[in-house]
Structures are given as structure tokens and as C-alpha cells.
Structure 1
């Protein structure tokens, strides 16, 4: 295992998704070998209620995977699985062109290519959800296209409601709607925080959904312009209290089980980052210990270079917590 510089004796953060979820290796290998029957078998074998967006995302990030997927769709235009993964791949390709920059920093040419990929994804995903209105991964991807194509708050909510009718606690779908509800995508902080609290209240104890409370606060903090405004925001007692409650009802609850809880690394990271920023090193340390050395780009990319930010705040928390 690799280690950081002599400034830290702890392992370097590991951003590889397969380190937390080894099944990603199988998905990649089977897709690379063209063994789509095995890929389908894995996805179909997931326990009822599992967020299948994880498998879709792993497959969509494979370079060149669009070609065999197009062949699958051409051979069977009613293949919901292939339609969904190909749609997700089109979205992935579009976002790679657009990048995560603010709209003012994205060129007209980038936007044109981005929207072209998203429109192609929409065609595929509309067909997928028409064929199987309960297919969670397809609706979750349609929340991405709604945001990228700027279809508005009402349409995003409509799509989420269709997803929630079959999967009321779908973490990926909720996280994507939460982004839409932030002001940077035309929403309001009242709507974003209200939705996050709603997800927490309605979810079973030990579910990931409480992590959305942390994500809403992180997005709000990041949207503030000055370091003074950011510090003042986190000093508000209700922010700390909401984070404590959300953590205790989600990833710190005795009923929490990381197996198939896709997204748990990001959720633990959000709590670790926010408690670190607040200065509650003891609580931050609890989340860092739960992570081991696992990490995801979000939230650490909001705090600087992801690996550097992770090490900085982890080492401070574990030294004092």
C-alpha cells in the first residue's frame, strides 16, 4: 500500500471505487470481455431495493463501451438495460466535454456538444422508462439530462416523483434532484435544505439518505463568496445540530450496513469534511476512521486538490480526535 509524504504516516487516500466495492472489477472485466450476459446476471441478482445506478455508472465510465452497447440496442431496441447504460454513457461523454466548470466558463462549442450527447441520451432513456416505468437507473439518469438540458425545476421534480413512486428512498435519484434544487441550477436554498430534511425524515434508520443533509450544507457553504461568510455559516448552531442528527440516523446508526449501500464513501466523506470545517475534530475523526483510507472525489474536490485536502483534514482530525 502506498503512503503519503513523511508529513503523514497514514495511508494515502484511495479514490478507486473498486476498493470499496470489488464488484466494480467484475463489471469492468465482463464488459471488456463482451460478456454482457454475466453483467446482466449480476445486475439482476442485486437485492430488491438496491440502487442500480452504481452498476450503470461503473459501466458508463468505461471508454469505448458505447460501441457494444449500440450493437445490443440495434439487435434489441426494447433492451431496457442496454438503453439505460448507453444513455448513461452518452451523459458521461457529454459531461466530459462540458466539464464541471460554472456555466460562464464553458464555451459555446462545449455547450453544443454537451447538449447533443444529452439529447441522444434522452431518446434512449425515454424509451427505457416507457418500456419499464419502474427501472430506477433509467429515471436517475433522466434527472441528469433534465439538469443538463435545463428543463427546469418542475420537470426534474416530475421525473423524481416517477422514480420515487417505485423507489421512495433512492439515494442517487435524491442526490441528483438535490443538485437541481440548489440555486446554481435554478433552485433555492430553502428548497434544497427542505428536500434533504424530507429525505432524512422519511428514510429508514441506517439508510444513506441522511447524507443529503450534509450535501446540502456543503453546497450552501461552497456557494458563499468569502471565507468570512463561509465560516459564519458553519458557526450557526443549527447547522452543527442538523449534521449530528443526520450522521447518527444514517452512517453512524447501528442498522447501517455498507454492503450494497452504494455512495457510503461519499456520505462519510461529506460528514468528515463538514465536521472538520466546523472544527469538531472528534466527530470528524469518527467518520475518517470509518473510511479507513477510502475516498471519493466529491466532497474533497470542494476543499482543494482532493488527495491533499483529504490528508490535511484527516490527519488533523485523527491527531486531535
Structure 2
């Protein structure tokens, strides 16, 4: 019998990992801005509010409701941020995830129109309250989409970091900007990811950005030949992943935070592709049946890839007791 015969299929629903997401979607659909604002504003210091603002902004058609809120209360920083985030999402949806060479001039025009609208809203939000994390994090997305460059993106991140020095969403977005596909370099991307690892407390999710950088680097290599396999088989790549996992999601001080499903998935996918099935198994066990489209969509059809790699990892780990290294060529 297959190892997955007794395991549930992967669950990609965000609300399964974070039940408050379901309530927030319902409140948004009901246009209950008072409840939304009270909930988000009342969260403890250090909460990554950018995650929840994105949940609100992803509700289809929410831009119409948010425009009414902003028109009625033009100094509502949260409303400005949510509408700016929504306009940014609409712009990216028009552009699609295709490489720039495959995006039409008209798509770029429409994208930039939405991003410029978002910029004006978010500039107002950060001017009214420079301490709001979600607004600065959203401005990192508009900086990238409007191609404002590395220096401007770093300036915006630095403004965010003044009040939120280990802001996971902000760091993840700057990491994207630092990748070569957005005008950066792998030296800059990996260097920043390591800064995030070492700058955050042990057990913080931020160390998982080391894995994010390696996922992006792996994807950027030619899928023809052995370039991707050879990249992952480098000893230093495995060593960096082991260190990052043990300092973040495997550390005794670790507690799940917004974004944890993606990061556990990054480690599970990378260790699986390296061949270190025992380490991959630890991350699959932490996930249970929870999953996110990223990074599995990079490997193929997300559900099939998750199940395939989970089966290999848990099957191998089960035969070897679930500890120690069972494959791969990197350092232990």
C-alpha cells in the first residue's frame, strides 16, 4: 500500500491554516469595515498585518467597497492601505506571472495604471502614519512593479525596518526585488537572506528566506540538462539550508506565524530535491496536509508534486526511523 493511502490530500485553503482568514473574508464580503478595522488594529504588537491586509484585498470586487470607505474617510490609513494593496493586485493580475518578454505593451500599460493609483494611496497612508507595516510592505510591491530600482526598494524597506526590524512580508518582498529577474544579483539576494537569518531571533520565521532564495535561484537555472540538479547538490547549499531550518522552523523556540506554510514547504521541497528525505520528512510532518501553491507550482502541478515528494520523504523516513540523512550529496 502506498504511504499516502492513509494520508489526506493536500489542503491549499489558507483558512485551514489560519481560521481567522475565513472570518475576515466574511466580514469583507459583508462590507463590515468597522469590524475589520477593529480586528486588525487590535492585534498584538509585532503581528505581520500585511498578511491580513492582503486577505482583505484578495476578496473579489472589494475595490468598490474600499473606494467608498476611502471617499468617506480619506484619512483612514488602513483603508488607504487595503485599497492600495487591491489596486496593486489588480495590476499584477493584468500583467500575469509571465516573463517580461511575454507580456504585451497593453498589459504593461494597464498594470502601471493600477500601480500608479496604488502608489498615491500608499504614499498618503505612510505620510499619515509612517509606522504602519502593511503600507510600507505594499510599497515594496509597487516599487518592483513600477521598476523604481534597487535603491528605492531598499529605501522603502529601511523605512519599514525602523519600526518593524524583522518584518517577514517586507523581507520576502525585498528579497524578490534583489533577485536578478528584477535587476538584482544572486550575491545580493543570498546575502540579504542571510542577514534576515542572523538578524532575527532564533526560532523566527525569517530564517526561512534562505530557503526562498535558493528556490528562486534553482528556478532561474535552465531546466534543460543538469544545471538545477548540480546547483542543489553543492555542499554549501545543503549546509545553508540545514543551518536555516535549524535556526528557524526547527528551533525549539519556533512558533508558527503568518507565512509558515510556505516556508515549511520551501524546506520540504528543497530537501526532497536534494535527496535528503529524512530532513524533508520533518517538514512534511510539520505541514500535515497543509500546503500552499508556492513552491509546489514551480515543480509542476502543485497537488501532485506535494503528494509525490511527501510519499518519497515519509516512505524513506519510515524505513530508516525518520532520523539522519538518507540521500543527497551535500554536507551534513
Give the TM bin, normalised by the shorter chain.
Answer: over 0.9
Whole-Å separation in 2 of the counterparts to 1:227 and 1:264: 32
Whole-Å separation in 1 of the counterparts to 2:52 and 2:308: 31
- C-alpha displacement at 1:275, in angstroms? 0.1
Matches within 5 A, 1:31-110: 31-110=28-107
Q: Which residue, 188, 191, 195 being the options, matches 1:194?
A: 191
Residue deviations 1:169-218, cap 9 Å, x none?
00000000000000000000000000000000010011100110000011
Whole-Å separation in 2 of the counterparts to 1:113 and 1:246: 39
1:152 equivalent in structure 2: 149
Whole-Å separation in 1 of the counterparts to 2:188 and 2:23: 39
Q: What residue ranges of structure 2 are gaps of 5+ in the alignment?
A: 318-332
The alignment covers a number of residue pairs equal to 315
Alignment pair present for 1:247 and 2:261? no
Alignment pair present for 1:305 and 2:301? yes
Alignment pair present for 1:317 and 2:302? no
Is the Cα–Cα contact under 8 Å of residues 161 and 167 in structure 2 kept in the other structure?
Answer: yes
- SS of 2:226's equivalent in the other structure is helix
Structure 1 pair 147–10 and aligned structure 2 pair: CA distance change class (3 A)? same
Residue deviations 1:146-182, cap 9 Å, x none?
0011000000000000000110000000000000000
Whole-Å separation in 2 of the counterparts to 1:8 and 1:102: 38
Matches within 5 A, 1:223-238: 223-225=220-222, 226-238=224-236
- C-alpha displacement at 1:78, in angstroms? 0.8
TM-score by length of 1: 0.96
Matches within 5 A, 1:103-252: 103-225=100-222, 226-252=224-250
Whole-Å separation in 1 of the counterparts to 2:3 and 2:192: 43
Alignment pair present for 1:281 and 2:277? yes
Whole-Å separation in 1 of the counterparts to 2:278 and 2:113: 47
Is the Cα–Cα contact under 8 Å of residues 8 and 315 in structure 1 kept in the other structure?
Answer: no
Whole-Å separation in 1 of the counterparts to 2:40 and 2:254: 22
- C-alpha displacement at 1:107, in angstroms? 1.1
Whole-Å separation in 2 of the counterparts to 1:311 and 1:104: 33
Is the Cα–Cα contact under 8 Å of residues 168 and 205 in structure 2 kept in the other structure?
Answer: yes
Whole-Å separation in 2 of the counterparts to 1:182 and 1:9: 40
- C-alpha displacement at 1:44, in angstroms? 1.3
Is the Cα–Cα contact under 8 Å of residues 3 and 314 in structure 2 kept in the other structure?
Answer: no
- SS of 2:53's equivalent in the other structure is helix
Q: Which moved more, 1:8-17 or 1:204-213?
A: 8-17
Whole-Å separation in 2 of the counterparts to 1:14 and 1:207: 24
- C-alpha displacement at 1:9, in angstroms? 3.8
Whole-Å separation in 2 of the counterparts to 1:98 and 1:151: 17
Is the Cα–Cα contact under 8 Å of residues 129 and 138 in structure 1 kept in the other structure?
Answer: yes
2:321 equivalent in structure 1: none
Alpha-carbon RMSD across the aligned residues, in angstroms, is: 1.2
Is the Cα–Cα contact under 8 Å of residues 53 and 134 in structure 2 kept in the other structure?
Answer: yes
Is the Cα–Cα contact under 8 Å of residues 50 and 133 in structure 2 kept in the other structure?
Answer: yes
Structure 1 pair 303–8 and aligned structure 2 pair: CA distance change class (3 A)? farther
- C-alpha displacement at 1:54, in angstroms? 1.1
Structure 1 runs (4+) deviating above 4 angstroms are 5-8
Whole-Å separation in 2 of the counterparts to 1:115 and 1:307: 33
Q: Which residue, 23, 29, 40 being the options, matches 1:26?
A: 23
Whole-Å separation in 2 of the counterparts to 1:79 and 1:271: 39
Whole-Å separation in 1 of the counterparts to 2:84 and 2:231: 39
Q: What residue ranges of structure 1 are gaps of 5+ in the alignment?
A: none
2:320 equivalent in structure 1: none
